[in-house]
Amino acid sequence: MRKEQHIKGWNEIKTNDSWAIFKIMGEFVNGFEKMSAIGPCVSIFGSARVKPGQPYYDLAVKVAQRVAEAGYGIITGGGPGIMEAGNKGASLAGGISVGLNIDLPFEQHDNPFIDNDKSLDFDYFFVRKVMFVKYSQGFVVMPGGFGTLDEFFEALTLIQTNKIHKFPIILVGTEFWKGLIDWIKNTLLEQGNISPKDLDLIKLVDTEDEVVNIIDDFYKKRNLSPNF
């Protein structure tokens, strides 16, 4: 009897998995339709726990404002902290402000600086990450936690393996990121787990002007277009 119950439960799981495909497809279709109409954007990542008035929050506002003034829309994860700062900077510049929202323990609601028609909600992390990568002309990575590192290393991996076209990946905050960069150089590189040229995929800066200069220089001889 117990074996039959297990088999029945397993079959129900498989059925639910099959139907989930349609929900996943729906998220992709909605995301593609809305994001493809927006135009060139730069994604800004960072901690949801940073508060207004803290140095990296204020710097993120300046970075986003400067990037928006240079003609790029701003995409964030839609929540508080650095994400809110990114959308706020875009709003101050009168630029495009996009939020790709997902329900997380420290992100209970979307922030108020997202354009009303550019706030998208996702249930699946992997669908949301596709939107970040496909519709960004650059990643600006402010100090953050596991989620920020996840986006950072996924983009590096996709570019390194030629799964997507190269775009700028910019770490902002030398003091915060220096330890990670040293570990990449002194451990990953020295042990042969990455190539010296892989280090060229990462730029480390401290100011909003440096961010814009890197992005502008990269696209002087390249077309702005979606990835993969």
To the nearest 10 degrees (0 to 180), the angle between helices 55-69 and 82-92 is 40
Which amino acid is located at 69 in the chain?
A: E
Residue 206, CB-side half-sphere exposure with 13 Å CA sphere: 5
The C-alpha atoms of residue 4 and residue 16 are separated, in whole angstroms, by 18
How do residues 113-153 score in pLDDT, each as one tens digit?
Answer: 999 999 999 999 999 999 999 999 999 999 999 999 999 99
**Average confidence (pLDDT) over 71-89:** 97
Q: Is there a domain that residue 228 lies in? A: no
pTM score: 0.90
Q: Is there a domain that residue 86 lies in? A: yes
Q: What is the mean pLDDT of the chain?
A: 92
Nearest of 82, 83, 93, 90 to residue 54 by alpha carbon: 82
CATH of the domain at 27: 3.40.50.450
Query: Running DSSP on this structure, what letter comes out for residue 91?
Result: H
Tokens of 167: 């775009």
13 has a pLDDT exceeding 90? no
pLDDT of residue 168: 97
- CB of 194 closer than 8 Å to CB of 188: yes
How do residues 207-228 score in pLDDT, each as one tens digit?
Answer: 999 999 999 999 998 877 777 6
Q: Is there a domain that residue 7 lies in? A: yes
Q: Is there a domain that residue 227 lies in? A: no
Give the C-alpha distances (Å, rounded to integers) separating 111 from 38, 55, 66, 179, 219: 19, 19, 20, 31, 30
Lowest mean pLDDT among 50-54, 58-62, 220-224: 220-224
Q: Is there a domain that residue 226 lies in? A: no
Domain housing 13: 2-219
181 conformational bin, left if phi > 0, alpha if psi -120 to 50, beta if neither: alpha
Q: Is there a domain that residue 84 lies in? A: yes
Q: Is there a domain that residue 113 lies in? A: yes
Q: Is there a domain that residue 225 lies in? A: no
181 has a pLDDT exceeding 60? yes
How many domains are there within the chain?
Answer: 1
Token pair 């495909």 is found at: 21
